[in-house]
């Protein structure tokens, strides 16, 4: 099967939501956020309801999105979200240019926005609230590292589990690397065990990690976050 990378629109919301939820469902660090009896089908429906408003229409000035589509079936099988730094967004606004504009989700009318908000409000989305001691350590490291310099941030990367191993994650990441080189920006990404190897192979360097045991929360003992930077093209 062949696939290709495309920009995203609000009409992609349910397809992207299905892909993303399915991609993360098999990851222990993500599963422990939800009740043990939660079913994948239910979670897909809730994520789909949130994707238009909370993902695609949120922070349109800075967020850029790409999807990977199976050329035969039209199914979305991969997704990446990038976030431009404030200085780049502001500079583009001053000149009237939309930086990386072909990967900005096109704006929609007020009626579509309202329907997206209403759909999101009708979704169940209640991750457990007792894991603060794990997430606080990650948040502290994130705040410190992201405060040191400006990055093009790889905010989200998801490949459908049935299509992993085909180079989709690599292609989406390389797409962002190409744009970062063009803009002269380093890239930052926070990865977990499942994605760390991909980033290292593509030339990212690990600048810090937070390794934690999450077994008391029902995890597999590996709540590990890796803070990674790609800056080969940037003079430090």
Query: 235 lies in a domain?
Result: no
SS3 196: helix
What is the token pair recorded at 125? 């989305």
74-129 residue pLDDT tens: 999 999 999 999 999 987 666 678 999 999 999 999 999 999 999 999 999 999 98
Task: Report residue 211 CA to chain centroid gap.
Answer: 21
**Long-range CB contacts (< 8 A, 24+ apart) of 233-236?**
233/180, 233/181, 233/184, 234/184, 234/185, 234/186
**What is the chain's percent helix, strand, coil content, to nearest 5?**
45, 20, 35
User: What is the pairing mode between strands 152-159 and 187-191?
Assistant: parallel
For residue 236, being part of any structural domain is answered with: no
Expressed as residue numbers, the domain containing 35 is 3-122+130-230
pLDDT at 177: 98
pLDDT grade for 61, boundaries at 50, 70 and 90: very high
The domain tally of the chain equals 1
| Contact assessment for residue 2 and residue 48, using Cβ atoms and an 8 Å cutoff | no
CATH number, domain containing residue 38: 3.40.630.30
Q: Give me the pLDDT at residue 90, please.
A: 84
160-218 pLDDT, tens digit per residue, is 999 999 999 999 999 999 999 999 999 999 999 999 999 999 999 999 999 999 999 99
pLDDT (average), residues 24-42: 93
Mean pLDDT of 9-16: 99
Q: Is residue 153 part of a domain?
A: yes
Classify residue 78: in a domain, yes or no. yes
Q: Which two tokens stand for residue 152?
A: 């093009």
Are the C-beta atoms of 64 and 103 separated by less than 8 Å?
yes
How high is the pLDDT of residue 94? 64
Q: Is residue 44 part of a domain?
A: yes
Query: Over the stretch 202-235, which tens digit does the pLDDT of each residue have?
Result: 999 999 999 999 999 999 999 999 999 999 888 6
CA distances from 112 to 7, 51, 61, 64, 108 (A): 19, 13, 18, 20, 6
On whether residue 94 sits in a domain, the answer given is: yes
| 54 has pLDDT over 90 | yes
Closest residue by Cα to residue 64 from 72, 56, 54, 75:
56
Of 205, 175, 172, 202, the closest CA to residue 188 belongs to: 205
User: What local confidence, expressed as pLDDT, does residue 234 receive?
Assistant: 82
Cα separations in angstroms, 105 against 82, 98, 172, 216, 231:
12, 11, 17, 40, 27
Hey, what are 124's tokens?
């169940």
Averaged pLDDT, 38-48: 97
Per-residue confidence at 146, pLDDT binned at 50, 70, 90?
Answer: very high
Report how far residue 222's alpha carbon sits from residue 147's, in angstroms, rounded to the nearest whole number.
Answer: 27
């Amino acid at each position: 099967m062949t696939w290709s990378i495309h920009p995203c629109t609000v009409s992609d919301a349910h397809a992207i939501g299905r892909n993303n939820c399915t991609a993360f469902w098999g990851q222990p660090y993500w599963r422990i956020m939800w009740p043990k009896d939660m079913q994948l089908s239910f979670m897909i429906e809730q994520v789909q309801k949130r994707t238009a408003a909370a993902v695609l229409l949120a922070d349109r000035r800075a967020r850029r999105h790409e999807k990977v589509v199976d050329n035969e079936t039209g199914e979305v099988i991969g997704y990446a979200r990038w976030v431009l730094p404030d200085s780049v967004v502001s500079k583009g606004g001053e000149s009237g240019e939309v930086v990386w504009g072909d990967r900005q989700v096109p704006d929609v009318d007020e009626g579509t926005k309202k329907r997206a908000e209403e759909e999101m409000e009708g979704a169940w989305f209640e991750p457990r609230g007792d894991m603060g001691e794990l997430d606080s350590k990650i948040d502290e490291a994130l705040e410190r590292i992201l405060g040191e310099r400006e990055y093009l941030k790889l905010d989200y990367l998801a490949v459908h589990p049935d299509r992993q191993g085909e180079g989709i994650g690599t292609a989406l990441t390389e797409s962002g690397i190409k744009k970062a080189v063009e803009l002269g920006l380093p890239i930052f990404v926070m990865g977990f065990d499942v994605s760390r190897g991909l980033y290292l192979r593509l030339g990212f360097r690990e600048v810090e990690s937070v390794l934690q045991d999450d077994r008391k929360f029902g995890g597999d003992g590996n709540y590990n976050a890796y803070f990674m930077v790609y800056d080969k093209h940037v003079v430090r």
